[in-house]
Structure 1
Amino acid sequence: MNINLPNFNMKNLVKEAGSTISRVVQLTEEKLGTTERTEYDLHFQSLAERADVTKSWTEKIVRDTESVLIPNPQNRVEDFIFEKIDKSKPKRLSNLEHLALNMIEAGGDFGQDMPYGQALIKVGQAEQKLGQHEHDFIATSGICFTQPLRKFLEGEMKTISKERGILETKRLDLDACKNRVKKARSMLGQQAAERDLRVAQAEFDRQSEITKLLLDGISTSQASHLRHLHAFIQTQVRYYKQCGDVMEQLQRELAKMQPAKPRLRINSEDVDGPPSIASAHSFDSDTTSIALALAVESDHESDSDSAHLYRSIDIGQAKALTHLLEEFEIEFDTSAITTV
């Protein structure tokens, strides 16, 4: 029975193993401070630090934005898994939509012809609209903001990290070669070490240039991120405007459903009052009288049309005044009423 084994290049395998050991030794000696290391130039260090800061803050911004869009961490994990396996995300009802369905169902049970039932249905329908606007906002925000930033992290930043790792490996090889040159004693050994040093230096310089180009590209990426940020804000403004329009319309519809109330005018200030106040009130008094201007007017009447409805009523004891104000279901500072 013939078994075809892959062809191993033992020479390359031994060479790679030797390089790995050499790097480990070099790194250990650097940690112990017993050998010198090649330092990156200031410009490269500045680019590398900016890349680290960009990566860290971009990760936090993406994570925090997704937490705002999808507060439930379990749902975020589930969505992430579905993205990885290339399947569509499950359709979920938001908290607003759950509330909307419960309100509509409750309104039906309480009676669609009853004021409270009608109001519950109206509010439930408005909450449904808010829920749909929320779904649209989440989807649009993902497309215009979080997805491009996550793509940057998973693409460009990963490439930069990989190339920086390769560069660090080349630096260890270079410094190991430098140490071997210092330790070489025979002429033959020194020539071989110097040859390895020249090769290591060339590979290090080449990888350094590649890494610098990638680090410089972060400026271009941040310009793109700025455009994505503007798009996210525009989406947010549109979302809140849509929600505001829904709530204003709901408020107008609920106001139309409220019964009209007469009004009590005290010292030139209108106060809502109960329908029962439409009948005239009079109170006898044996002591101090207080002049109270009373007017009953419907919501559709103008001030000029209702001017003839004003009358002066004598109110005696504080008990009588309290009774009148209680009918209006208001609290009133009696010190504001002019005494006569």
Structure 2
Amino acid sequence: MNMKMPSFNMKDLMHQAGNTISTQVSRVVQLTEEKLNLTNDKTEYDSNFEALLERQEATKNLTEKIVKDTEALLVPNPGNRVEDFIFEKIEKKKPQRLSNIEHLGLDLIESGGTFGSDGAYGSALIKTGQAEQRLGQCERDFIANTGICFIQPLKKFLDGEMRTITKERGVLEAKRLDLDAAKSRVRKARSLIGTQSKDGLSPEQSLEQAERELRVAQSEFDRQQEITKLLLEGLGSTQSAHLRYLHAFVESQVRYFAQCNKIMNELQKELASLGGSDAPKYEIVVTDEEADLHRNINLQPEGLHYQRARVLCSYDAKDNSELNLVANEVIFVAECTPPHSDYMHGKQGLLKGLVPKAFLEILDD
């Protein structure tokens, strides 16, 4: 079976490529002349359209700053932010890392166990470490909630609507440059009226062709300006959505600080009951509403006898019933009810789930 291959006219392809390159070069020259104030032929937008362009530019820049600053607040380590960004781009699960406060909590608990939990200092270290772990879990929840309710919607706006507007603005700028070039050709053709013919066209014919090209360029510019204007005007409605995101962020932050406040007030009372401190006691007033936010936080619920255990090597949870483990971290474990030959009940801060016995070294007798 003979198949007829499509024919290509290399000369036409080269001609089209040459025209494209020539157009791009001409636009660069035009922009350079405008920057250097070497031309007065630039098509100006009306004041209303200029105001829309300025608002769009400010919205884009300031939203990017807000997202960047919020990410820096949640993840202060630049290296971790870069790592999270890479995992996000390759659509892989981010690595689970302990925060500084969680590391502190584990070290305090380990130190308290070493010094002896029956002594005042060892007991205080353990209680403080447990509180730090709960703070760490509250921080995790705050980071996750802020990412969902604030950062992600703003990023979606920047990657979607704002990117579309920026693209259409680029098209409009190209159309404007084409329009200015067409106007320049018309002026040049008019200046040649009454002179000898060139390239087989009379000056009158050259002017007619230039005016025809100008009408086409003007029509394309007007159409693209209208498209861009509609998109720019739509930006005003996005602020109401962004206001909702901001409210959600503030509510998440209020909840986070209320939880932290509750945890530290409880810790302060526990440490005071141990004695050994001559420092003045300060009571931080917590409203009933704030107290309810952390009512269910409890490191060691009744009915389970927890022990400290060190994780021998990292372990990825098979499903939601298990915990992810990181090598050398210290967690609390208790026998399952009923007992299981391969698993124990584990607790990482506020996270609960099954953990395999083979990955654990029990630290408490």
Q: TM-score, normalised by structure 1?
A: 0.72
Q: Please state how far the C-alpha of 1:15 moved relative to its aligned partner.
A: 3.5
Against the structure 1 CA distance between its residues 237 and 28, is the aligned structure 2 distance closer, same or farther, given a 3 Å change threshold?
Answer: closer
**1:174: how far off?**
0.5
**Farther off after superposition, 252-261 or 46-55:** 252-261
Whether 2:225 is the aligned partner of 1:208: answer yes
- What is aligned with 1:134? 139
Q: Which has the larger radius of gyration?
A: 1
Instruction: Supply the distance in 2 between the matched residues of 1:97 and 1:260 (Cα, whole angstroms).
Output: 25
| Corresponding residue of 2:90 | 85
Alignment partner of 1:72 is 2:89: no
Letter in 1 for 2:66: I
Please report how far the alpha carbon of residue 3 of structure 1 lies from its aligned counterpart in structure 2 after TM superposition. Answer: 10
In structure 2, the gaps of 5 or more residues are 193-202, 279-365
Aligned residue in 2 for 1:310:
none
Q: Secondary structure at the match of 2:76?
A: coil
Of residues 240, 243, 249, the one that matches 1:232 is: 249
Deviation at residue 245 of structure 1 after TM alignment: 1.1
1:199 pairs with 2:204: no
Aligned position for 2:262: 245
Structure 1 residue 200: Cα displacement:
0.1
Query: Aligned-pair distance for 1:4?
Result: 8.3
Q: Show the counterpart of 1:189.
A: 206
Q: How many residue pairs were aligned?
A: 260
Aligned residue for 1:150? 155
Partners of 1:208 and 1:129 in 2: how far apart? 55
Q: CA deviation at 1:231?
A: 0.2
- How far residue 59 of structure 1 moved from its aligned partner, in angstroms, is 1.3
1:218 is matched with which residue: 221, 230, 235? 235
- The amino acid that maps onto 2:245 is H
In the superposition, relative to structure 1, how do residues 144 and 188 fare at CA in structure 2: closer, same or farther (>3 Å)?
A: same
Percent identical residues: 60
Q: Give 2:170's match in structure 1, choosing from 146, 152, 165.
A: 165
Unpaired segments ≥5 residues, structure 1: 262-340
Asked if residue 13 in structure 1 is aligned to residue 30 in structure 2, the reply is no
Q: Distance in 2 between matches of 1:260 and 1:164?
A: 66
Amino acid at match of 1:230: H
Cα distance in 2, alignment partners of residues 13 and 197 from structure 1: 22
The counterpart of 2:118, out of the listed 82, 105, 113, is 113
CA contact (8 A) 1:160 1:215 kept: yes
**In structure 1, what is the Cα distance between the partners aligned to 2:244 and 2:86?**
28
The residue identity in structure 2 corresponding to 1:109 is T
CA contact (8 A) 1:51 1:218 kept: yes
Name which of 23, 27, 34 aligns with 2:27.
23
> Who is 1:61 aligned against?
66
CA distance in 2, matches of 1:235, 1:93: 21
1:68 Cα deviation (Å)?
0.8
**How much does 1:225 deviate?**
0.9
Deviations 1:304-336 (A, max 9, x none): xxxxxxxxxxxxxxxxxxxxxxxxxxxxxxxxx
- Distance 1:113-1:38 versus aligned 2 partners, 3 A rule: same
| Aligned 1:218-297 pairs, distance under 5 A | 218-258=235-275
What code does the residue aligned with 2:145 have?
A: T
**Aligned-partner Cα distance in 1 for 2:7–2:133:** 65
Q: 2:250 and 2:125 mapped to 1: Cα distance?
A: 33
Tell me the TM-score normalised to structure 2 length: 0.67
Q: Quote the Cα distance in structure 1 between the aligned partners of 2:96 and 2:79.
A: 14
Report the Cα offset of residue 217 of structure 1: 1.6
